[in-house]
Copies of this chain bind each other. A is one copy, B any other.
Amino acid sequence: MYSKDIEDILHKKHISIGEKVLLERAEESFEGVLMPRPDAGDNNILVVKLSNGYNLGLDFRSISSIKRVGTSAETFSFPKIKMRARTGLKTVKLLYTGGTIGSRVDYATGGVYMLTKPEELLYDVPEMADIANIDVEHLMSVASEDMTYTEWQVMARKSAEAFNSGASGVIISHGTDTLHFSSAALSFMLQDLPGPVVLVGAQRSSDRGSSDAFMNLICSAHIAAHSDIAEVGTCMHASSSDDYCAFIRGTKVRKLHTSARDAFKPVNGAPIAKVNTEGNIRHLSPYTKAGKSRKVSLREGYEPRVAMLYMYPNSDSSLIDHYLDKGYKGLIIASTGLGHIPISASHPEYNWLQGVKDAVASGMVVGMTSQCLFGRVSGTVYRYGRMITDAGAIYCEDMMPEVAYVKLGWLLGNYGRKDAEKMLAANLLGEITPRTEAEWHDEV
């Protein structure tokens, strides 16, 4: 909402949100579409979307003149349309959780802030209303770096509820920093899905000309409403050009760039599908098909006393003792290469093997993964691998450290230790790629 002064002027001049306006001040003038003012921030800042796609915030008190230069028919129309359910369209639940995709630059302060009303997410993407009836729910406003397993549980519960209430698919808008952790967690927590759960984020907030929010949201809506995929995955830019998005399995995706729009890449697998804003979906790899009559199986248990430890030269193996002392139940080691840790007797202070033995002896489940990220670990190629296997650690095949970490917490939250041990290196839902014959052969 704009300030009363602004509202009064707009009313007097018969200018509505979404119309093209010309603003003048001193020796400058600006033409653009008058945007609604998000609730947060200084309500004396007028926001206009310029023709280059950028939003511009101007202090109303500096403006000498404002006039309408285009009618609303020529320009955008706003929330009313999207909020009105249309017959014949499928229903998609959009769970709003925060993050850059739900953020706007505050042109008064230069800072980025989160929307307080999630419907605002759709202001800029009227196309979504033509794809499905988007039912927006404000779950939380949490930066993804602040997400914990409790937020994963809320998202899982609400996704299950949405399917139980007849939604064809679920979209979860989410910050990008830990989006791939959440997608892995939801993959395990939500099984036997009748339709897709699409996690979507944006690397650049949607009031910036280079934003990826629009395309990511539109493509996500197509997947959620019209694909026959019944898996949890992410849907975001797949290349540096704006041509299509990739839907990637939630356990095979990782954020691999701090700022690029195509930051989310598949690791050890191909995307399930590519999709463009027209709704063309092309399948690229096998997936679980949707089954309308299926009932979601919600397993939201989670054991937070699980750690992920990175091994590196000179790294302190006493961290394992630290976690033992704190009563941790599981440990994923992001080791080097095929799954190695320092074992040499010549540097006992950096020897990790004893720590692994102690951990296993104390009842911890210890999983071995590789910080290489790409490729598979193996406990049989080298002597060290055999020693680590003999110590009781479990080699986690081609799971990324992050996915093995999330999986182990989920396993220990829902099953006993023995079952968790067995299931950690077993493929439950596509998180482990079966070995090919060539790979077996390759291991001498």
A176 at the interface (CB under 8 A from B): yes
How many residues of chain A are within 8 Å of chain B by beta carbon? Answer: 77
A247 at the interface (CB under 8 A from B): no
Determine which residue in A149, A315, A342 has the highest number of CB atoms from chain B within 10 A of its CB, and name it.
A342
**When chains A and B are docked, how far (Å) is the Cα of A419 from the Cα of B385?**
41
**When chains A and B are docked, how far (Å) is the Cα of A350 from the Cα of B178?**
14
Tell me which residues across on chain B come within 8 A of A312, comparing CB atoms.
178, 181, 308, 402, 405
Tell me which residues across on chain B come within 8 A of A335, comparing CB atoms.
145
Nearest CB in chain B to that of A181: its residue: B313
Q: Are B210 and A442 within 8 A (Cβ)?
A: yes
Q: Are A255 and B384 within 8 A (Cβ)?
A: no
Q: Are B260 and A375 within 8 A (Cβ)?
A: yes
**When chains A and B are docked, how far (Å) is the Cα of A326 from the Cα of B322?**
12
**When chains A and B are docked, how far (Å) is the Cα of A336 from the Cα of B255?**
9
| Chain B min CB distance to A38 (Å) | 16
Mask of A96-132 contacts with B, CB within 8 angstroms, 1/0: 0000000001000011110000000000000000000
| Chain B min CB distance to A395 (Å) | 11
Question: Given A313-B181, A375-B258, A409-B314, are A111 and B383 also a contact pair (CB < 8 Å)?
Answer: yes
A432 at the interface (CB under 8 A from B): no
Identify whether the interface residues of A are mostly helix, strand, loop, or mixed. Answer: loop
A4 at the interface (CB under 8 A from B): no
Tell me which residues across on chain B come within 8 A of A344, comparing CB atoms.
142-143, 146
Q: Are A256 and B373 within 8 A (Cβ)?
A: yes
Nearest CB in chain B to that of A406: its residue: B313
Q: Are A148 and B257 within 8 A (Cβ)?
A: no
Mask of A341-374 contacts with B, CB within 8 angstroms, 1/0: 1111011001000000000000000000010111
Q: Are B259 and A376 within 8 A (Cβ)?
A: yes
Residue in B258, B350, B374, B405 whose CB lies within 8 Å of A377: B258
A444 at the interface (CB under 8 A from B): yes
Question: Given A312-B308, A312-B402, A372-B258, are A145 and B384 also a contact pair (CB < 8 Å)?
Answer: yes
Residues of A with Cβ closer than 8 Å to B?
105, 110-113, 142-150, 152, 175-178, 181-182, 208, 210, 255-260, 263, 304, 306-316, 319, 322-323, 326, 334-344, 346-347, 350, 370, 372-378, 381-384, 402, 405, 409, 442, 444
User: Which 9 residue pairs of A and B lie closest in terms of their CB atoms, listed nearest first?
Assistant: A258-B375, A177-B336, A146-B344, A177-B337, A145-B340, A257-B375, A257-B374, A258-B372, A304-B314
Can you report 30 residue pairs joining A to B where beta carbons are below 8 Å apart?
Answer: A110-B444, A143-B384, A145-B335, A145-B337, A145-B384, A146-B344, A146-B346, A148-B314, A177-B337, A177-B340, A178-B312, A178-B313, A178-B336, A181-B313, A255-B337, A255-B372, A256-B372, A257-B374, A258-B337, A258-B375, A258-B376, A258-B377, A260-B375, A263-B372, A263-B374, A308-B312, A312-B405, A316-B323, A316-B326, A319-B319
